[in-house]
Structures are given as structure tokens and as C-alpha cells.
Amino acid sequence: MAMPPSAQISPAPDKPTSHKAAFYRTIWRWHFYAGVFVVPMVLILSLTGAAYLFKPQVERWEERAWQGLPTAGAVTPEAQVSAALAALPGAKFHSYRLPQQPGDAAMIHVGLSGAEGGKAKAMRDVFVSPQGQVVGVLDPEWRIMEIAHDIHGQLLLGKRGSWLVELAASWAIVMILTGLYLWWPRGRGVAGVLWPRLSAGSRTAWRDVHAVTGFWVSGLAMVLLLTGLPWADVWGSAFKAVRAEMGWVKGKQDWTIGGAAPASDEHAQHAEHDHAAMMAMNGQMPGMDHDMANTTPAITLSEVVRRAQREHLAFPAIITPPGAPGRFGRAGGDNWTLRSDSQNRPLRTTITLDKQTGRELSRETFADGHPIDRVVGYGVAWHEGQLFGWVNQLIGVLTALMLATLSISGFVMWRKRKPDQGLGAPPMPKEKVMAKLVPVLLILAVLLPLLAVSLVVVAILEKLVLPRTPKLAIWLGLQNHVERT
């Protein structure tokens, strides 16, 4: 998820009163301090977010060696799964991804044994040719887009990284609001407001680039922030609780929270029904003992694949056998599951088939979800650049470029005005105007839990730490505050 950065925006108002000047300077200081934290995150999240927009293309390129293979002499899906399991002794069959095009290798998702994988739940994507030959194996955790996803959502730090990203998102919303206040024309012409004055001197040009870019990107950035919050750990968990309390839940949640399955489904992550009966093949497969063989479904994988092909599910179309872990590690149930995992959420469909008769037991489409879930789904699809094809991707790239421009221009502006001693924060106004901001801060704190926590921490530091560390207070530009305290 990409975030808007801090700004050193300082278009001067037209001869403001002392009170207005104090309020303006207070907003500027909020904008500056939060930006110290937000700007580095913007660059990271903009780059990884822009890359993730092209996940379908990157993964297609990543699998290029296993595409366009001969189709003559094609074997059954059961034989392809057998080949994958034979290549990784002790592995368990989790899912089968249908080829996107004729001649593409099928992708068999398997779980390795502890000894083979180095950990209890190590996974592999095994690519098997139409003729049943293993042509490639990838660790899904080290695929290009998975790394970009983990950096973007968690900074490769797990849940703690998710908290940092969420905290940056919360303060970025503050930055958008304060930035728009600082940008406001106040009677000036459109030059420097809607387009930058590049010939007005270096300092003015950088300020205008920053301010104008911030104005044009603010709406897009706010959409990215808001559509990313349901994935965040603290906000997403609170949102899930509110949905449950208000009765807004219909079907299973289709997005992760803090990089993990929704809390109500976490038990399923530990319930790996890795029975060899998952194979759902005609005949006993490698690793299937006598008791497990007795539970083999009557409907074969080949029959389910043919059914999935007739459904024309949006790619990637995934088949999960009875007993295998389902989406987000949930127990997949005792029957066959066909689903589209398309990033364009409105195209997703999940179908459950009876393992004995092949009769359709349930069908869940995007339209069947609760309206709240559909809104989130549209937002997620937009956030990932897949809601309406290459146009969505182009808008996402332009947004990321503008956010990077804000980061760079803000840094340049800071370096141009930073003194040799100190952080270079805008001077503190003598007049106290914080009372005006309290209602807005309270609303934001209620809507953004981590912002509330951080405000409490800042208040404690200002009251208890900074008065005892005057040198640090001076460096931060808070000397006036310390003197009054």
C-alpha cells in the first residue's frame, strides 16, 4: 500500500493575522514532524506498490520457461500430480492450478515434509508439463511478487512491520489533510497552485513542484490509503469486529489481516488435513496408506478439471481436493472446491462439488457477498491495479510516481532550509492554537487506532522526556515548549 509523504509546503498566506499565522505554522509543524517518519515509507511503498500492480505480467514472465509446451501425448491431471509428488518425496497435495493457455504447465501446490522443507509447513509450486514431466519447482515465499507483497505490507518484519505500515498510513492521512491546508491558494492565482512556477527560482520551484504534485495526487493517495486499511493488523481486526457486531458478515472474509488469515480462521492454519486421500485419484497414490485409501472420493481430479474448464473461471483457477487446506490455510472441507483467485475480485467465483457424486453443493460469487465486503473487494482490486485492466495499472503507476516526486521534493526542500544544528523544524508559534485542532484529532484518533496510540506516546514524550533533555528539545525545534513547561 503506498502512502503520501510529508511536505515542506509553505506557500505564505496573504498578510495573515497573528492568530492565523500561528495556526498556519502549527499545521506546518505537524506536517513536518510526521513527514520525518512518513517520507522514507513512501519511497519503499511506492516502489513495491508500483511493482505489485504488474503481478499477472511478472508471474507470467517468471513462468515463461514452462509455457507453450507441446500438447501431444498429454497425460491426466492425476498423472501430473503423481509426478509432482514423486519429485518431492513425502510431499502432500494441496491444490491444482489449471494451465492458463494450452501447452502451459499445470502448477501443483504441495506441502513438504518437515525434513524436506526445513519447517513444518514449507510449500512448493511444482510445474508439470502436459506429458507429466516436472519442468520446474518454485518456493512460493521467494517468488518475485511475493517478496514485493511482503515488503509492501509488512516490510519483511511480520506483524510488527504491518504495525509500522499501518502507523505510516494513519499519519499519511494527517499529512494529506495538513498538506491541502498549506496548499490552499488564499487569493493567489493558479500559478503555483495548479501548475508549478519552474522559472521562479530554485526554492520556489521546488516548493511549487511539491505543493502542486501533492494537490493532484491527494485524492488518489487517499483512496490507496483507505483501501489498504482493511488489510492492516489493528485497523483490519477492529473492522472485522465491527462487521461481526453489526451483522455485516455474509460468507468468508476474502482478504488477510496483517498478512494472516482472519482471526476466526486461524485454527484452520494448524489443522492441515494432509491426508493422502486428498489426491482424489483413481487408485492409491504415493503416501496413501490403507485407511486413507478407503476415503478416496469417487469423483476424480480429471472430472473436476473438466468441470472447471467448462465454468471458464478467471485465471488463476484453483482446484482444492477434499481435506486439503483451503484459502488462507482454512480447512478446505470434505468436498472438492473450484475457485478463481483473480486479483480482480468481482470476477471471483467459488464452487463446491460433492466428492462422491460431483453434484454442485454451493456456488459463491462476488455478488453474493455482503455490500460491505463488495465495497472492500472493489477497493482491493483497485489497490492492486486489476479492477479495470491496464488503465488501472497506469493510474497506479502515475500515483506511485507522484508520491515518489513528493518524497524527493520534500527532502530537497528540507535540505535547502535545514540549519547546521537542529532538525530544521518550522519555528514554534508563541500563540497556542492547539485547542482548534482537538476535535479533528479526536475524530481521527477514533477512526485510526494506531494514530491515537502514537499521539499518546508523543504527549508523554513532550511532558516527561523532553523537559529533561533540553539538547534534544532544541535539536527537535521544541525549545519554546520546554521553556513553557
Q: Rounded to 5 degrees, what angle do the CA atoms 64, 65, 68 make?
A: 80
**Residue extents of the structural domains in the chain:** 70-130+251-369
Between CA 331 and CA 314 the distance in angstroms is 23
For position 114, what pLDDT does the model report? 66
pTM, whole model, 2 decimals?
0.83
- pLDDT one-digit tens code per residue, 262-291: 654 444 443 333 333 344 444 444 433 333
What is the pLDDT, as a whole number, of residue 22? 85
Terminal C-alpha separation, the chain: 39
Q: How far apart are CA 145 and CA 278, in angstroms?
A: 28
CA distance 339 to 344: 13
Residues 287, 85 contacting (CB under 8 angstroms)? yes
**CA 13: distance to chain centroid?**
38
Angle between helices 434-447 and 159-183 (to 10 degrees): 140
**Position of cell 481486526?**
237
What does pLDDT average to in each consecutive run of 10 residues of the chain (485 residues)?
40 55 87 86 94 97 97 97 96 96 97 62 93 97 96 93 94 92 83 86 89 94 94 92 87 81 49 39 39 59 96 96 70 84 96 94 94 94 95 97 93 86 81 81 90 90 85 78 44
Q: Nearest-CA neighbor of 32 among 417, 399, 398, 481?
A: 417
Contact 314, 292 (CB under 8 A): no
* Each residue's pLDDT tens digit, 100-144: 999 999 999 999 986 444 455 689 999 999 999 999 999 999 999
**141-184 pLDDT per residue, tens:** 999 999 999 999 999 999 999 999 999 999 999 999 999 999 98
